[in-house]
């Protein structure tokens, strides 16, 4: 899908009030390419450099991801970037939080909790269930508070075939099934990217909120931006587009062609603010 921009009164790179701007971004599919092995999904280096530059201008930068914070830190390298000393990362859809200012995190090690015991029981059941539905080759990612079944490389029909049985077993264990790009994630409800975005907005009181995402899990953040617009804030929605998912396209103010185009956009924004 080629990079494009949808007609909008919102500037996809607002320049007039950088100190009053909150920039929030998804990780996978936005800052990092989707790859078969999620442990190899490193953030685009140009995006990371641009975020460091933007950090000297913008009021707040936040990463809101379905990944655990520890993975986002490892794959993004954010902790060592000049300009990101005030970065906030919300992991597992907001169930975890890391603040660069104090290197502190809330609930980063959930092992031993009742919720993790539920995830462990689910992990024990999954191999037989996947084999029953011809998906033995699926990669199961343990996020501590969630399990993600990755089907990339197994055929587009596999994720569709697994949806109903995984939804059933997730429901039995009190979990929510979150579909994504060739992945089905089973997690606890109660945390979503919209709530995480509202949290950081309440804390930082920006005048402009920019959010960039690529997949169904980003829809709650899109909803949050729409709500904030209704409350009088300026909102800008960016879609990191792919051939696999178009749910965000019609709602976005700017549609960019994946993480490479996101990196170009961030770099151009930093160039304009540095000028």
Q: How many helices (H) and strands (E) does the chain have?
A: 7, 13
* CATH number for 213: 3.40.50.1000
Tokens of 45: 């280096």
* Residue 58 pLDDT: 98
Last residue of a domain, one of 164, 187, 210: 187
Tens place of pLDDT per residue across the chain (275 aa): 334 434 343 467 888 999 999 999 999 999 999 887 888 999 999 999 999 999 999 999 999 998 889 999 999 999 889 999 999 999 988 888 999 988 765 555 554 477 778 888 899 999 999 998 888 888 888 887 888 898 888 877 888 889 999 999 988 888 888 888 788 988 887 778 999 999 999 999 999 999 999 988 899 999 999 999 999 999 999 999 988 878 899 999 999 999 999 999 999 999 999 99
> Are both 199 and 181 inside the same structural domain?
no
> Are both 153 and 199 inside the same structural domain?
no
> Are both 41 and 76 inside the same structural domain?
yes
Alpha helices in the chain (DSSP H): 45-54, 69-76, 114-132, 156-172, 193-204, 219-230, 258-274
> Are both 103 and 196 inside the same structural domain?
yes
Tokens of 1: 């899908």
Last residue of a domain, one of 187, 215, 230: 187
Q: Which are the contacts of 135, defined by CB distance < 8 A and separation ≥ 6?
A: 149, 151, 154, 158, 161, 162
Task: State the total domains in the chain.
Answer: 2
pTM here? 0.80
> Are both 229 and 151 inside the same structural domain?
no
> Are both 164 and 232 inside the same structural domain?
no
> Are both 81 and 204 inside the same structural domain?
yes
> Are both 216 and 254 inside the same structural domain?
yes
> Are both 48 and 65 inside the same structural domain?
yes
> Are both 224 and 99 inside the same structural domain?
yes
Residue (of 187, 181, 143) closest to 166 by Cα position: 187
Last residue of a domain, one of 169, 187, 205: 187
> Are both 156 and 261 inside the same structural domain?
no
* CATH number for 119: 3.30.70.1020
> Are both 47 and 121 inside the same structural domain?
no
* Residue 1 pLDDT: 36
Cβ neighbours of 241 (radius 10 Å): 24
* Residue 39 pLDDT: 85
| Domain span including residue 103 | 4-109+191-274
């Amino acid at each position: 899908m080629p990079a494009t921009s949808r007609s909008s009164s919102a500037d996809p790179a607002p320049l007039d009030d950088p100190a009053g701007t909150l920039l929030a971004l998804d990780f996978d599919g936005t800052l990092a390419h989707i790859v078969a092995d999620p442990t190899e999904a490193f953030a685009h280096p140009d995006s990371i450099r641009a975020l460091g530059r933007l950090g000297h201008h913008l009021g707040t930068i936040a990463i809101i991801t379905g990944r655990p914070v520890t993975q986002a830190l490892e794959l993004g390298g954010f902790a060592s970037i000049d300009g990101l000393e005030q970065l906030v990362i919300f992991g597992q859809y907001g169930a975890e939080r890391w603040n660069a200012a104090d290197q502190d995190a809330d609930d980063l090690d959930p092992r031993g909790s009742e919720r993790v015991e539920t995830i462990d029981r689910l992990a024990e059941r999954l191999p037989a269930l996947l084999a029953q539905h011809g998906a033995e080759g699926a990669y199961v990612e343990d996020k501590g508070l969630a399990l993600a079944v990755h089907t990339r490389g197994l055929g587009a029909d596999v994720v569709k075939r697994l949806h109903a049985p995984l939804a059933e077993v997730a429901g039995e264990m009190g979990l929510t099934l979150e579909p994504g790009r060739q992945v089905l994630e089973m997690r606890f409800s109660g945390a979503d990217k919209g709530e995480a975005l509202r949290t950081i907005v309440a804390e930082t009181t920006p005048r402009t909120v920019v959010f960039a995402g690529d997949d169904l899990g980003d829809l709650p953040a899109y909803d949050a931006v729409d709500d904030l617009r209704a409350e009088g804030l300026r909102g800008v929605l960016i879609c990191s587009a792919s051939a696999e998912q178009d749910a965000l396209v019609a709602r976005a103010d700017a549609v960019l062609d994946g993480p490479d185009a996101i990196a170009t956009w961030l770099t151009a924004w930093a160039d304009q603010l540095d000028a």
